[in-house]
A and B are shown apart, each in its own frame.
Chain A
Amino acid sequence: MRKTYIFSSLLLLVILFSLFGEQGCKNKPAQNTDPSGRIGFQFKEKLSEYGFFKGKLNALNPRDGVLSYELSTPLFTDYAVKKRFIVLPKGKAIKYTVKGVLDFPDSTIIIKNFAYVNTVHQQVMIETRLLVRDPADKSWKVMNYLWNKEQTDAVKHITGAKVPVTLLDNDNNKLFTNYQVPNTNDCKRCHIKDDVLIPIGPKARNLNFTVPGAKENQLLAWAGKGVLTGLPAIAAVAQLPNWADARHFTVTQRARAYLDVNCAHCHTKGGDAYNTGLFLEYEQNNPDHLGIKKAPVSAGGGAGGLDYDLIPGDAGHSILLYRMNSTEPGTAMPELARTVVHKQGVKLIREWIHSMAKKP
């Protein structure tokens, strides 16, 4: 009797054990797929469904609560004309941060619209990119919307596209190119730092200026509206030079701002080009990391038979300039978001490299 009791309780325990064990095995992957237990942000099929704009969609006329903004030095994308907006959740504000991007509340949507100027000087919408801070897991998500020919709406698009366009550059020169709409992984490449997807542009220092035509400094205006909290005295806020403003900034300041915006999201510790050791942030001052007499690591043919990333005084033999001045895949830098040469950018960097020779 006693023996049977022990045996049966043992059997029960074994069964219980194996049940728990099974449960344990089954639970693991389920936990991995949805740690919060909540459904994350779902992107809508069409841009029009969000209701960001009023009137004709391609006029990008923001509704109340859709905040437009500009950057003092923007990223170059094939001479695209960009319009940028931020949508904050009701009653929430952005928190000021000294370094890096501003601290956006959950459910923030950042909208970036890309258009080119056609040969009759009309703006033609190509794509709209959304960055959303998902409240479910507090991470940023990306989506791209490709505009239709009729310019009436843009549709969710993850695979990227090549759009043949004939555009006018800043000097009204006609340029034909296959504009590259990025796929969602392309978006991630530039936006990932230390394995986390983040916005790039809206840093305090790159927003800290008075947009032409506006009455006051952009950050002050935001603070006044109550959409930005914690802003210190504006004089204490860092300012990224406007790369095109030769009246107020030196060649070095402009060049470094240009490299910061166009290169440093990848060329930084933790960025996509971390492995190269070439780091181009505005505050970087290690000459090796800036590429001065630095040999390339993994540029392969992209180095164009040249020895150093940057030779002071010798732009013609500097890999940095060579790659900016190319449109060949494998050579062109940045690798994404550019299919034509940015002549003005190349000119600025050339001047900067030449100017470096004058210093001891």
Chain B
Amino acid sequence: MKHLFPISFLFLLVGITLQFSCTSPSAVQQEYKISLSFKPGEEAKIAEALLSVKDSTRIFLKKGLYKFDNLSIAQVSHVSIQGEGYGQTILDFSQQSQGGEGIRVTNVKHFTIDGMTIKDSKGDLLKINKSRDVVITNLHAIWSKADSTSGGYAIYPVMCKNVLIENCYTEGSSDAGIYVGQTDSAIVRKCKAAKNVAGCEIENTSHAQVYDNEFYNNTAGFLVFDLPDLSKRGGHVKAYNNYIHDNNFRNFAKSGSFGTTWGVGNASPGSGIIILAASDIEIYNNRIINNNSSAIMIASGFAIDTKAGEKINANYYPVPKNINIHDNTIAMGAAFPEPAYEHRIGKTLIAIEQQLNRLDPGRKNKRIPLIMYDGISSNILTKGVALNPDSICIRQAGDNVFVNADFLNIANPQHWKPDTNRKPFSCDLPVEGH
């Protein structure tokens, strides 16, 4: 009887060890049954290898320049495409003659792409559709020219689950550099994006964390959008420890005529962060510097679509709610960037600044406040009168921090009263985990 304790303990130990060695997902992911290696000049072989790829394959692309029409991988599990590093292994898609993207990944589980530059496709650069456990790392996705001839999205996981985008750089997208759409659980970290219309956009995506990134010299640095009529609702997005600066680039998005549609064409040059029709968002500990039209903008779907209310369903609610903005370092430059004067929303922001200064000479011609809220709350749906019915919560030190821009009266100058009283919006932060 005396021995029973040590014996059962030993059993337990053995059991735990075995359990661990069999089910540890990282152990399974590291090993590939098939390993293929290619060098420049073997483009046809690579395209064929990707088409006939089997489960558990690692494809290694040696350094050099590869020219592809397009590439695709579909319906497999556990595949890795590995280069020798960005700037070393370069995939050029300027010859693309068909399809919407350079690389397309569909229905793949455990997909990794690591260590290369992909550039100059006609449509999107890397689209990953309906896949899960996706890792995109050490990838540069760029268009040589940042104008409307560029494709839409550089890194574009959509309808995925569990996505990690890390140590990537995107440039030149005519929509968003990093665009995570209709996805559940995503992390974007240690990435950079420049000279895109939107640096990074999280759209109809839930449980996303965006941190330790640098988004600069885009039209808008970071966007969180929910759009109607899509497969899922976004929300529960956190952005922290990012450096979002100097996003004053002209808007060169081709889609939409800057204002009548939902798209990124609506982003005014000079936007740091835009939250549109999204809920349960926390923005904190970021440095948001020299985005000279609006450091942070919170807007409802009604700001760009009068029919937004008709589109409410389980996947869409046009009024942003539970927005928490706190402890960011924010500074704005002395004037609006030139391109803002050419842009519909840009002109609106300029008008807000002018109206504020007209209504209150005591402001002494200060800049538009750092955080612009369109003021279209759920009161519009409930006919309520509460001052802050949607828990827009702001805890930011300093002066000239906040304006409720009173968008509902913007067309009527006599009644239009942008309001800088931030008191109703200085609510307590929610307890972590609720």
Contacts and interface: CB of A to CB of B under 8 A. Distances in A.
A25 B27 CA distance: 11
A339 interface: yes
A17 B14 contact: yes
Given A17-B15, A18-B14, A303-B255, A329 B99 contact: yes
> How many interface residues does chain A have, given as a range?
35 or more
B156 to A, nearest CB: 8
Given A296-B255, A297-B230, A192 B152 contact: no
B72 A329 contact: no
A354 interface: no
Contacts of A195: 75, 107, 130
A300 B255 contact: yes
A6 interface: yes
B48 interface: yes
A143 B104 CA distance: 19
A272 B72 CA distance: 14
A275 B151 contact: no
A15 B371 CA distance: 66
Nearest to A332: B98
A82 interface: no
B98 A301 contact: no
Contact of A159 (B3, B44, B77, B130): B44
B181 interface: yes
Contacts of B51: 158-159, 183-185
The residue in A192, A272, A301 that gathers the most chain B C-beta atoms within 10 A of its C-beta is: A301
B21 A329 contact: no
B381 interface: no
> How many interface residues does chain B have, given as a range?
35 or more
B92 interface: no
B48 A300 contact: no
B55 interface: yes
A336 interface: yes
Contacts of A21: 18, 21-22
A158 B74 contact: no
A186 interface: yes
B85 interface: no
A24 B254 contact: no
A277 B55 CA distance: 31
26 contacts: A6-B3, A24-B22, A25-B21, A29-B56, A32-B55, A32-B77, A162-B97, A185-B50, A185-B73, A195-B75, A269-B231, A275-B181, A277-B227, A277-B228, A277-B230, A298-B158, A300-B254, A301-B151, A303-B263, A329-B96, A329-B99, A330-B122, A330-B151, A330-B152, A335-B100, A336-B98
